[in-house]
């Protein structure tokens, strides 16, 4: 169920939302729709990132093994 609220935007943010509304829907009448879509996109990306960070890892690598790999990659790039 939609909820009504008041949000105070900075001038530059408001202008970007207006521009996006006109670009997507041809008018400024869809400001709420644009804000909802942008928030969903932003929150979705963040939750996917957090899920990736905190998910069960498929493998474990020791610090010294990683350092050895990094040194090898550095040498490889320096030779190119």
Residue 19 and residue 35 in contact, taking contact as beta carbons nearer than 8 Å: no
pTM for the whole thing?
Answer: 0.56
Following DSSP, what letter does each residue of the chain receive, concatenated? ----------HHHHHHHHHHHHHHHSSSTTHHHHHHHHHHHHHHHHHHHHHHHHSPPS----HHHHHHHHHHHHHHHHH-
Span 30-78, pLDDT tens digits:
999 999 999 988 887 777 777 878 888 888 889 999 999 999 999 999 9
pLDDT band, very low/low/confident/very high, at 80 (cuts 50, 70, 90): confident
Each domain of the chain, given as residue ranges in start order, spans: 11-79
pLDDT of 43? 81
């Amino acid at each position: 169920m939609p909820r009504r609220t008041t949000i105070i935007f900075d001038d530059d943010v408001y202008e970007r939302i207006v521009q996006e509304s006109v670009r997507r829907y041809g008018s400024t009448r869809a400001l709420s729709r644009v804000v909802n879509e942008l928030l969903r996109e932003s929150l979705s990306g963040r939750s996917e990132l957090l899920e990736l960070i905190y998910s069960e890892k498929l493998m474990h690598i020791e610090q010294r093994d990683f350092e050895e790999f990094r040194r090898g990659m550095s040498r490889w790039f320096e030779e190119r």
